[in-house]
Amino acid sequence: MPFPKICGTLSCASVIFLLTSNSWIIGEQPYPASPLVEGIRFDWTTHRRAAQGSDNFQLTWSDDDHLYGAWGDGGGFGGSNSKGRVGLGVARVEGSAKDHRGVNLWGGAASKRDATFDGKSWGMIGIANKLHMWVVPDKPPGKTYRNHYEMIELASSGDYGLSWNKAPWRFSASDDLTIPTFLNFGRGNEGVPDAFGDYVYTYFIRPRNAQMEQEGGNGVGLIVHQPGALYLARVTPDQLRSGRDCFEFFAGFDQDDQPRWDSIDRKRPVFRDAEGVGWCVSACYHPGLHRVLLCTEHGESKAGMLGIFDAPTPWGPWTTVEYYTQSMPFGAQREGSRWPWKNKVFFMAFVTKWFDGHEFTATFTGAGLGKDNDSFNTVSGRFLLRKE
């Protein structure tokens, strides 16, 4: 199913063929193959698991050289699905990719501070000596049930995750926006290319419809949103907390094929996938490849059906690095991993601190009610580049 011209390129659906024991299965990628990265090779002997019962953990690299990230519905490092359980917690991850340890800061087992509000986060960024995270609610005000889709708030910390305060404004589902993530760069958010400008970038998922709820009367659960689309917004670092009107949204391209930026009501999708986009997304910039890397689900949630895409700019043009399918989900082949596994992964992110040339260490997490991939998982690998 071809798409029209998006992000300055004709995004003809590329077809991948997966050989099974019975037949050839055809699956469609939303964008052509990456001209730079042929694929990814994971080294599953490096698979580590911690914080069993806690999920999410999108990490940002702060100026103090530590990593910080939020988890949901568990006790974090040293906790379990019940021990130290909080709806939203924040941890610090110290050390190298091969030798790291987690410390609970805000909520969780033996944490340094108690968590002061609930919710979930799949987007955190460190800018200079401040941390910021997008937060969606567990139970919105006036509701007795969960609805992550209802609104989006920004929480910030000036003491490296020990305390958090929310900005007095929010985005909402009525804006046709839901569960966002930040585009992460280097240490303290350094290394933003000049061509991108002095901005903080955020990708927002377009909800299937603005009235949908996670639970309640028309509850649909946490789903892949179809037809899938992502919006992109930017704001200068000094105005990040100033108000929603300070955000400019991608609004298509001008006659010179340059991105236009406009108000929220003039936004246009910056990414599309007819198979949908997940209820969570991750995005980062690889300084060696000079590419933005974006990960999200498609087709079905909590089934390892991840897509990994790359682009030279935050607004594209997008190409496909990997597109995992129902027949060949993420982690289907993992020789060397000693951990139990059920195919329920829904989130993966690359860690900018742990890029080493073409090698990387990624985090991933999944469903499992306190078991298997409902945890903090890391695995190292290598980007396989195309031969000239």
What is the per-residue burial (b if ≥16 Cβ within 10 Å, else e) of 77-99? bbbbbeebbbbbbbbbbeeebee
Domain count, the chain: 1
CB-facing half-sphere around the CA of 251: CA atoms within 13 A: 13
Residues 37-89 have pLDDT tens digits of 999 999 999 999 999 999 999 999 999 999 999 999 999 999 999 999 999 99
381: its two tokens: 């690998």
Kindly report which listed range (6-10, 51-55, 273-277, 290-294) carries the lowest average pLDDT score. Answer: 6-10
In three-state secondary structure terms, 246 is helix
165 C-beta neighbours (distance < 10 Å), count:
13
Query: 315, 6 in Cβ contact below 8 A?
Result: no
Residues 200-244 have pLDDT tens digits of 999 999 999 999 999 988 899 999 999 999 999 999 999 999 999
Question: What pLDDT band is residue 24 in, cutting at 50, 70 and 90?
Answer: very low
- Where do we find the tokens 């995992």? 324
- Counting residues of the chain whose pLDDT is more than 70, the rounded percentage is 93
With vertex at residue 298, the alpha carbon angle to CA 294 and CA 301, rounded to the nearest 5 degrees, is 110
Domain that holds residue 66: 5-385
Spatial CA neighbour of 125 closest among 189, 191, 76: 189
Model confidence at 2: pLDDT above 70: no
The domain spanning residue 72 has which CATH number? Answer: 2.115.10
Q: Residue 160, Cα to own-chain centre: how many angstroms?
A: 21
Query: What is the spatial distance between Cα 165 and Cα 228, in angstroms, rounded to a whole number?
Result: 32
Question: What pLDDT band is residue 25 in, cutting at 50, 70 and 90?
Answer: very low
Spatial CA neighbour of 270 closest among 297, 292, 290, 250: 250
DSSP state letter for 7: T
